[in-house]
Structure 1
Amino acid sequence: MKYLNGFLLFTILLSTSLYGQNQEKIDSLTSAYKKQKEDTLKVQTIKALFNAYLYSNPEVAKKFAEEQLALSRKIGFEKGVASGLYNLGVYHSNVDNIDSSRIYYQNAFKKYNQLMDLDGLTGVNHGLAILEYSEGNYSKALGLLDKNIKLYLEEVNDSSGLAMTYDFIGSINMYMGNHNIALKETLKALNILAKIDEEIRKADALNHLAAIEFYLHNFEESIDYNLQALQIYRNENDRYFEAQALNDIGNTYYYLEEYEKAIEILGQSLDISTEMGIVILQATAFNNLGKAHAELEQFETAISYLERSLSILENSTNRNKTAEVLNDIGNVYNAQKEPELAITYLNKSIALADTIQARENLKNGFFYRSNAYENMGNYKMALIDFKNYKSTTDSIFDATKSKQIEELRTIYETEKKEAEIALQQEEIKTLNEKAKVDKLTKGLYAGGMASALALFGLSVFGYRQRIKKNRIAREKQEEIYRQEIEHKKKELASQTLHLVQKNTFLEELKENLENLKSSPEKFKMEFRRIVMLLKKEKASDKDWETFKTYFSEVHNDFDQKLKTLYADISEKEIRLAAFLRMNLTTKEIAATMNVLPDSILKSKYRLKKKLGLGKDMDLTSFLNTL
């Protein structure tokens, strides 16, 4: 997840806060704490103090949690014991002591289960889901949250908890790349929070909504949502989340290429995170400041910030973020024309990214190292790294297409379940209404009110019609999703066939490079020949007939349909139509056919004219119907 710079986990870890930091409230609780005797009421006060200090002074909060646990055990208050164990789980989760946190959560779960305390169980499930998420076990995290959704809808009346769960599900799906699902779940949370007085929760959801808009490259909308969240955090004196929101806003300005503005806001985030001792956010702010200064060609300052970020991350478990910073340092050294230094960092990044299968960072590492080798005049290694860069890029593209299909399938299954639940509820409602009608019918007959009876009969008929209408609408929606999934499958198959051709050529190229190892003195001459070969390959008709055959099978004899409708269509125009049918961009088609984008635009215009399409008819939309 390139754009959010690894900070989403920090957001979720802190999203269990129940209180803004209000010194007046802390003073009031402290006063009551000093006067109370050792009983259950004092346990509750200690618990409130834990929550009040959790995000302003975590170490003080920890002492209160330990005191809560000790006092509850002393007076035999089992619910207080469970709550104390849970609070220690929260503390250790926030300071990244995952193993300790899990042990406390598991012990809390046992206590709450013995007490049959469903509120407590939902809290522990949420905490455990955060731990699973932090370790990349997204399915397990979502499974725990699904259990909570069921409890909230059927047994536990907690709108805030339900909203928080929808919000967390949205955040996980955003990190998985399921942006449509993420947006849907986060908006569910906001709709609930709009009806209750939970400003901090609303701010968290707004922050996550900003993150979704960021992933979709809607940067202005992202800033707007984060500014709303920032105002709430400041009103509630929530310094942790204020620092996070500032970091996100500053990072967004970086992608809007407003580097001076980004540096100003990121500096504010760094000041607060340093004051609060939020180490992982300090590393993120240093990284983002380094990148912004690099864009302004302030390279020494950039390296200083990036090295400070790296020194923090090397002592953490966030290896993906570490690889990202190593890449950024290598890229800055490339810009300074110091390729040897760049390669030192990029070798580490590539090795780390390959180990953890962080393909985005792996791709960037190969690309930056290819540039470094080119700057050194080592064209052989530059070409090998560029080939690896392209191969990794293709694998990311392939995975993205598969993920899109899976997201469609998930949306389809989810909405199908929701439709079934809605239908069941409607049928229950209708049966209840029918029972009322039957009861009233007897009374109406006894009173001779035949006209009223007819009116109630029409009511029953109306409910039945509504059920029928809902069922028809659901079936139509199911068919739409089936068609979308089938379309995505065909699109993926076409892209795969295209990549197979390219990979075959790359394998041939690799063999040629291996042959050159025995004659290094010929490399410079052979390198030029290989470059010419690459250019030729882009424009050649090699394997086009094979590709066209498979493409026609996937897309139902596409070329034959074109020839049947328009006999004078050329082979070149069929190829253009095929690429458009695959939803390639003008730039991608131009690169594939080795021509300028302007030439593709002209060819598209001529093809549209030949096909006799009017101004209002989109060429690609028409080809998608064939």
Structure 2
Amino acid sequence: MRILILFISVFSFYSISGQQQSKIDSLESALRQQPDSLKLETYSELVKHLLKTDLKKAKIVLDKKINLANKINDISLIAKAKLEIADYYTLTAEFENAEHEYLEIKELFLKNGDTLLAGNVLKNMVKTLMYQGKYEMGLEAALESLRINEKFEAPRTKLIGNYMTVGNIESVLEKYEKSLEYYRKAEQIAMEEKDTSQLVKVRHNLGENMNWLKRYPEGIPYFKSNIAYYKKMNNKIKLAFTYNSLGTLYYEMDSIGKSKFYIERSLKLTKKMGDLQGMAYNSRNLGRIYMRQNNPNKALELYKIGMKHSIQSKSTAILVADYRNVSNAYAASGDYLNAYEYRLKHQQLSDSLLNVKNTEKLNELEIKYQTEKKEAALALQEEEIKTLNEKAKVDKLNKTLYAGGTIGGIVLSGLLFFGFRQRMKKNKIEREKQEEIYKQEIEFKKKELASQTLHLVQKNSFLTELKENLENLKRSPDKFKMEFKRLVMLLKKESSGDKDWEVFKSYFAEVHDNFDNKLKSVYADISEKEIRLASFLKMNLSTKEIADMLNVLPDSVLKSKYRLKKKLNLDKETDLYGYLSGL
């Protein structure tokens, strides 16, 4: 499994130990006694502890720090305080807020003449842009940070991180050769500076890149070099990780024996360390190998380890894939009753995830609809009150002018009455427009419900047919051979999924106004896989959910989304979800 080292940060939250709580209490006590000039550093120290224990309280402290920095009115202090807030937003996955803060901080540092610090801020901002899928903007920020550090002669060890960042983004954008250029620059500096800790990171990325380029033999030395280093340093966590990466590379080369050797080593280490997540991941990979070797019983044993971890850790999205793996292993071993049971679990959980997402979406839409309805009613009411007031004025003026009998007054009255009629006409048009919006909203909800219903019907038709066959087999043991063949064919049909997709596509096109034809009108050469991805995106499924449904890695879905956006000629500011929802 490919891991984008630079862009993924793992934060672990620990329970408050007595010692840590004591430290927090001590810092809070110090703040009550300190003058403003000393409080900023204490706030920073307090936030470090609170980020592990109480995020809400950490934000309150950060707000106090930024208020104090503004009070002191020192640009450098303000920028540094805002930098901590930006990092907080990144930690809490509020990426748009983080991006906004980073841009402000960059301008503050530039205004203060701290150009190198501005470059570091840009490098930090890259992560938030990547999480939002703004790959090209991320690349621009990374390149600008690199140019600043090169121009102002930042320490060479900092350039390693810059080159790595740019290389990673180029890799995500599938510009692997360009990515290699930056990785090799980073490797060269790390070797010259004898920075071994950075060197092993660069070489791991080089190995992964060779995997994606399918230049497998060139990737092997990088992983083997890192294995030797981690053995020497007795770093078992990294060693297990690298064993797995090398095993995955050999799997892609169809060197199943070598793949099994390294993944088994990785599994042994993760067991020894009690790393449950690592054990589950390695077990799934070994399960794939045993399925390839036509040993479904051993694969089943390993898949169940992964499944057990998903249940314990409540990793629902991964559990969907685990149920599918277990079902496939049972089917391959001829145990169709259990295959049916786990296929049922897989599809029920998959549908449950989809139901939750669609229900939330429809609830949000209903709230929006009711709010807009009330606002529109109030607006119309106000307009009609204004109109009646205007009518009253016209009537009053008519009476006055009638009494005076002046021609000019009659003309003026006529103009005012004409204005009144125009206002009434305008109100009618506005009312009709609002009614049309309501109709569209209701139609949209109907389509969403129809899509979900069709999805469930399609899934359940397979389960019903499989259940009927199992009942027939139970009632008529003498027909075992014939029914057995039918079950095998049915499972193969479900595994292929191509015909099911065609049925789903036709239904989807009906309720979404020939969505595939609209896509083809934008780009005639769009492929079936891209139409399928676009359909799932239009249903507002997440990257992880799409990956589970297509049986691919989330990283592959991210790349496919980027390619689709590029093929549809959308600029980097245009949101792909929003664009497809509008088709």
**Counterpart in the other structure of 1:324:** 281
**Counterpart in the other structure of 1:372:** 329
Matches within 5 A, 1:327-476: 327-353=284-310, 361=318, 365=322, 368-379=325-336, 381-382=338-339
**Counterpart in the other structure of 1:4:** 3
Secondary structure class of the residue paired with 1:150? helix
Among candidates 228, 231, 248, match of residue 188 of structure 2: 231
C-alpha spacing 1:538/1:245, structure 2 compared with 1 (3 Å)? same
**Counterpart in the other structure of 1:511:** 464
**Counterpart in the other structure of 1:307:** 267
- Cα distance in 2 for partners of 1:310, 1:221 equals 35
Deviation at 1:510, TM superposition (A): 1.6
**Counterpart in the other structure of 1:298:** 258
CA deviation digits over 1:496-549, x for unaligned, max 9? 988975652221112233445545455515415635876899299979876554
**Counterpart in the other structure of 1:248:** 205
- Cα distance in 1 for partners of 2:498, 2:226 equals 50
- Cα distance in 1 for partners of 2:35, 2:216 equals 56
* Equivalent residues of 2:297, 2:329 under 8 A apart: yes
CA deviation digits over 1:542-589, x for unaligned, max 9? 79876554454668xx69xxxxxxxxxxxxxxxx97998693338989
Secondary structure class of the residue paired with 1:347? helix
- Cα distance in 2 for partners of 1:102, 1:227 equals 42
AA partner of residue 171 (structure 1): K
**Counterpart in the other structure of 2:527:** 584
C-alpha spacing 1:338/1:582, structure 2 compared with 1 (3 Å)? same
Matches within 5 A, 1:182-197: 182-197=138-153
Deviation at 1:227, TM superposition (A): 1.2
* Equivalent residues of 1:306, 1:329 under 8 A apart: no
**Counterpart in the other structure of 2:165:** 208
User: Normalization by structure 2: what TM-score?
Assistant: 0.54
**Counterpart in the other structure of 1:172:** 128
* Equivalent residues of 1:213, 1:221 under 8 A apart: yes
C-alpha spacing 1:383/1:191, structure 2 compared with 1 (3 Å)? farther
Aligned Cα RMSD in Å?
Answer: 5.5
Matches within 5 A, 1:476-625: 501=454, 503-516=456-469, 518=471, 519-520=473-474, 521=477, 524-528=484-488, 530=490, 538=499, 549-550=510-511, 552=513, 583-585=526-528
- Cα distance in 2 for partners of 1:131, 1:544 equals 43
- Cα distance in 1 for partners of 2:45, 2:105 equals 21
**Which moves more between the two structures, 579-588 or 197-206?**
579-588
C-alpha spacing 1:133/1:114, structure 2 compared with 1 (3 Å)? closer
- Cα distance in 2 for partners of 1:280, 1:128 equals 31
**Counterpart in the other structure of 2:107:** 153
Deviation at 1:167, TM superposition (A): 2.1
Secondary structure class of the residue paired with 1:222? helix
**Counterpart in the other structure of 1:416:** none
CA deviation digits over 1:35-88, x for unaligned, max 9? xxxxxxxxxxxxxxxxxxxxxxxxxxxxxxxxxx9xxx9xx9998996699689
C-alpha spacing 1:287/1:224, structure 2 compared with 1 (3 Å)? same
C-alpha spacing 1:246/1:544, structure 2 compared with 1 (3 Å)? closer
1:138 aligns with 2:93: yes
- Cα distance in 2 for partners of 1:178, 1:391 equals 34
Unmatched 5+ residue regions in structure 2? 13-26, 356-445, 533-567, 570-579
State the identity as a percent: 15
* Equivalent residues of 2:142, 2:162 under 8 A apart: yes
C-alpha spacing 1:170/1:390, structure 2 compared with 1 (3 Å)? farther
C-alpha spacing 1:262/1:551, structure 2 compared with 1 (3 Å)? same
**Counterpart in the other structure of 1:466:** none
CA deviation digits over 1:378-422, x for unaligned, max 9? 345556767888999999999xxxxxxxxxxxxxxxxxxxxxxxx
**Counterpart in the other structure of 1:473:** none
Deviation at 1:244, TM superposition (A): 1.0
* Equivalent residues of 2:62, 2:85 under 8 A apart: no
**Counterpart in the other structure of 1:287:** 244
- Cα distance in 2 for partners of 1:392, 1:222 equals 39
C-alpha spacing 1:79/1:106, structure 2 compared with 1 (3 Å)? farther
* Equivalent residues of 2:249, 2:259 under 8 A apart: no
User: Normalization by structure 1: what TM-score?
Assistant: 0.51
Unmatched 5+ residue regions in structure 1? 14-68, 399-492, 560-575, 590-619
Deviation at 1:133, TM superposition (A): 4.6
AA partner of residue 184 (structure 2): L
- Cα distance in 2 for partners of 1:100, 1:243 equals 35
* Equivalent residues of 2:351, 2:456 under 8 A apart: no
Secondary structure class of the residue paired with 2:151? coil
AA partner of residue 2 (structure 2): Y
Secondary structure class of the residue paired with 2:264? helix
* Equivalent residues of 2:286, 2:299 under 8 A apart: yes
* Equivalent residues of 1:219, 1:252 under 8 A apart: yes
C-alpha spacing 1:532/1:322, structure 2 compared with 1 (3 Å)? closer
C-alpha spacing 1:331/1:192, structure 2 compared with 1 (3 Å)? same
Deviation at 1:273, TM superposition (A): 4.4
C-alpha spacing 1:548/1:151, structure 2 compared with 1 (3 Å)? closer
CA deviation digits over 1:178-219, x for unaligned, max 9? 433332332332343343212333321221222222223333
